[in-house]
Copies of this chain bind each other. A is one copy, B any other.
Amino acid sequence: MQNISIRSFKLSLIATTIGAAIAMASSPVVAQQAMQPMKIERGTILTQPGVFGVFTMFKLRPDWNKVPAMERKGAAEEVKKLIEKHKDNVLVDLYLTRGLETNSDFFFRINAYDLAKAQTFMREFRSTTVGKNADVFETLVGVTKPLNYISKDKSPGLNAGLSSATYSGPAPRYVIVIPVKKNAEWWNMSPEDRLKEMEVHTAPTLAYLVNVKRKLYHSTGLDDTDFITYFETDDLTAFNNLMLSLAQVKENKFHVRWGSPTTLGTIHSPEDVIKALAD
């Protein structure tokens, strides 16, 4: 997400925020898959519903150290070419976690209109030099959906709040990915009661729109989580305060998974990530 304008991110924010949980289409049987345009555009795909997100955390095996230096150095170019080859099918982001995480050294976020194409990209990555020397530690699959709770109709005040604030900090250097799963008691609440709790959840987060970017993917049934929450920030103390404010609302009592793993990394171009690991 390193070269998108704040404006396009804000649109994305409006479309799918942390305050938006499940979409209940009036007719559940109508496919909500977005029509794929001819080309993947970052500013567009990151703001649309019906887009699949695949997060894959990788850890280099010890054998990586035994790969000849020349081959290790060439790995960045190889990954760059793979991304180029698939650029009409998937949007690829790559992050560096080595030094900050136990179980991963880097991770991918793939956005795609067609999940099968994201799978093909990730499968081909496994045959690259770095892919052959890395183990998958975690895969999370989700899909974006239209705002449900804090929509213009249901919660106009908060919806306006979400729309009016804009990220205004320095370019984010940090990324955080946190899977979220809620218990049966949550899902058995009436939509009205869940809306009420999501409003309480959303209110204290407005103040952080200026220094924490966020995006939401829905995963129920696609993976062993209900949501994948994705954050970018340059101010980790602010982010810590945001998470504490989310811990302090009643909705938190319904979490059965919040993290586990929490993944914290730094934002670089894909080439720089691979180069940093080739040293």
Contact = CB atoms under 8 A, between A and B. Distances in A.
A62 interface: yes
Nearest to A63: B62
A136 B240 CA distance: 24
A212 to B, nearest CB: 9
B119 A100 contact: yes
Given A62-B63, A123-B276, A220-B247, A187 B28 contact: no
Binding site secondary structure of chain A: mixed
A84 interface: no
Contacts of A122: 98-100
A223 B143 contact: no
Given A184-B252, A211-B31, A236-B115, A279 B247 contact: no
A42 B108 CA distance: 37
B240 A218 contact: yes
A28 B239 contact: no
Interface in A100-159: 100-103, 115-116, 118-124, 126-127, 132-133, 135-139, 141, 143, 145
Report, nearest first, the 5 A-B pairs whose CB atoms are least far apart. A221-B243, A99-B122, A99-B119, A187-B247, A184-B252
30 contacts: A22-B241, A28-B207, A28-B241, A32-B237, A33-B237, A54-B100, A62-B132, A62-B135, A98-B123, A99-B119, A99-B123, A100-B115, A102-B136, A102-B139, A119-B266, A123-B276, A124-B279, A178-B221, A184-B247, A184-B253, A187-B244, A187-B252, A188-B250, A219-B240, A220-B243, A221-B239, A221-B244, A222-B264, A223-B264, A224-B262
